[in-house]
Amino acid sequence: MKVCWMYHDIMDLYGDKGNIMTLKKRCLDRGIGFDLHTCGIGQQDDLSTYDLIFLGGGADKEQISLIPDLLQRKENIQKAMDENTFILLICGGYQLFGQYYIAANGEKIAGLGFYPYYTDTGKMGSRCIGNIVIDAQLDEIHTKIIGFENHGGQTLGVTKPLGKVLSGYGNAFDAGFEGFYDGKVLGTYLHGPLLPKNPDVADFVIYKALKKRNPNMQFKDLTPLTNPYDQAAREVLLTRMHIEEDK
């Protein structure tokens, strides 16, 4: 599996490296090769050659610094999506695929504009902070996704949310839904990091990435991995939030 981690050096505010570590471990445990590349500002690379593109979160200063570089890659990112490269976006990365976002200082920052959603800023410095659980349908996979959210941005106009909020805030204070998923791109505010807490989601990302070069592959074709600690940790977190795990 060939993976590109974009802006790895500045977009790793909330431990996004843990997502990459989880993907690598779950691939290698199955005997799947994991070829990780990074792509920073000014670095030349054809993103359409990758099976998975990952872009994590960062503070406003970091996001603003990469905007010129990101925007000049728009055509290449579109080519990657058209050629079935799967894209995983966390927090700031999620915001940047929309129309624009408003920074905490009121500055309007242009996004890639791939999707109609946009991100305003929380009024008077208000933020969505705390543990969150959402009920999500990832193609044929139904799962509860656990995470931690900490965002001032209020993402509005999302037409294809990732899941329904069971506990927490989501895309905005009164949104009721969290994230974005359209089959090609999965964007979310969930940190923690996301994938160690949600092995089903990690495996789903691996499956979607592998499907680029194996179009007939199905999720069930992935070799099951059993780790009692994964499930035990999930049960503890869900119990704290008074939510039952799907059986």
- The catalytic residue among 8, 27, 151, 191 is 191
Q: Is residue 4 among the annotated active site residues?
A: no
Rounded-to-integer distance, Cα 77 and Cα 6, Å: 11
> What is the identity of the amino acid at 31?
G
Rounded-to-integer distance, Cα 112 and Cα 187, Å: 14
Q: Quick one: tokens of 36? A: 């990780």
Q: Is residue 39 among the annotated active site residues?
A: no
Q: What are phi and psi of 171, to 5 degrees?
A: -60, -30
Q: Quick one: tokens of 183? A: 């089959």
- All residues at 6 or more sequence positions from 214 whose CB lies less than 8 Å from its CB, including other chains: none
Residue pair 96/65 in contact by the 8 Å Cβ criterion: no
Q: Which pairing describes strands 141-151 and 128-138: parallel, antiparallel, or unpaired? A: antiparallel
Residue 193, preceding peptide bond in cis (omega within 30° of 0): yes
- The catalytic residue among 4, 27, 91, 128 is 91
To the question of whether residue 73 is assigned a binding role by annotation, the answer is no
The closest alpha carbon to 89, from 126, 114, 122, belongs to: 114
Q: Which residues are catalytic?
A: 91, 191
Annotation: binding site: 127
Annotation: binding site for substrate: 127
